């Protein structure tokens, strides 16, 4: 991967803050003309640095009032088990993010559901059904103290 220069970092920062910028608006903000700006954005996409564009949705506004952070511990770390666990986590729509961890727990999953009863149902029918789960610990979030923010690209 090539080294990012100051203009690339500026482009990335601007797009993280507003992915709906037109190429002209982005070019103006980073001090380029539109053609070189578009070439840089396309290069950042082609290199896998920009991986997509999404809308941020207020979970509570669409009825997803409960955010849970679920730590999973496996009883086996065999390749087939790990592959199966990761595939199952990807297939559960309520699991909106999942991370492989170092330390006592193996995975951290962020779950969004409408209610505690919906979470209980998810736990009983989906999470406990994942093969080789040795332990599940859940923490419920009461609020967001810092929303998702741009990566610190310096």
Looking at the structure, do residues 127 and 86 belong to the same domain, yes or no?
yes
What's the average model confidence in pLDDT over 42-59?
Answer: 96
**Using CA atoms, how far apart are residues 26 and 152, in angstroms rounded to an integer?**
19
133 occurs within a structural domain: yes
pLDDT band of 95, cuts 50, 70, 90: very high
Note whether 73 and 37 are same-domain residues: no
- Residue range 60-65: mean pLDDT, rounded: 97
**pLDDT beyond 70 at 1:** no
Query: What is the percentage of the chain residues whose pLDDT exceeds 90?
Result: 97
Residue 131: predicted pLDDT:
85
Co-location of 116 and 93 in the same domain: yes
**Are 10 and 74 in the same domain?**
no
Domain that holds residue 107: 59-141
Average of per-residue pLDDT across 59-65: 97
Domain presence at residue 53: no
Q: What is the pLDDT of residue 154?
A: 77
pTM of the entire structure? 0.90
- Across the range 137-147, mean pLDDT stands at 96
List of residues 6+ apart from 136 with CB closer than 8 A: 70, 71, 72, 73, 123, 127, 128
The yes-or-no verdict on residue 68 having pLDDT over 80 is yes
Q: Among residues 57, 71, 81, 65, which one has the least CA distance to residue 147?
A: 57
pLDDT tens digits for 7-45? 999 999 999 999 999 999 999 999 999 999 999 999 999
pLDDT at 2: 77
* Structure tokens, 30: 């980073």
Strand ranges (E), 8-154: 66-74, 95-100, 107-113, 133-141
């Amino acid at each position: 991967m090539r080294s990012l220069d100051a203009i690339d970092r500026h482009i990335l920062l601007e797009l993280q803050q507003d992915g709906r910028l037109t190429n002209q608006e982005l070019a103006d903000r980073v001090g380029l003309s539109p053609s070189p700006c578009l070439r840089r954005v396309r290069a950042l996409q082609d290199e896998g640095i920009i991986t997509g564009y999404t809308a941020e949705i207020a979970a509570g506004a669409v009825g997803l009032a409960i955010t849970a952070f679920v730590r999973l511990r496996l009883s086996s770390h065999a390749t087939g088990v790990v592959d199966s666990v990761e595939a199952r986590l990807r297939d559960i729509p309520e699991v909106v993010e999942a991370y492989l961890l170092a330390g006592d727990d193996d995975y951290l999953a962020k779950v969004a559901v409408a209610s505690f009863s919906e979470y209980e149902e998810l736990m009983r029918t989906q999470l406990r059904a994942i093969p080789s789960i040795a332990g599940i610990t859940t923490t419920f979030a009461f609020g967001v103290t810092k929303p998702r923010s741009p990566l610190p690209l310096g």
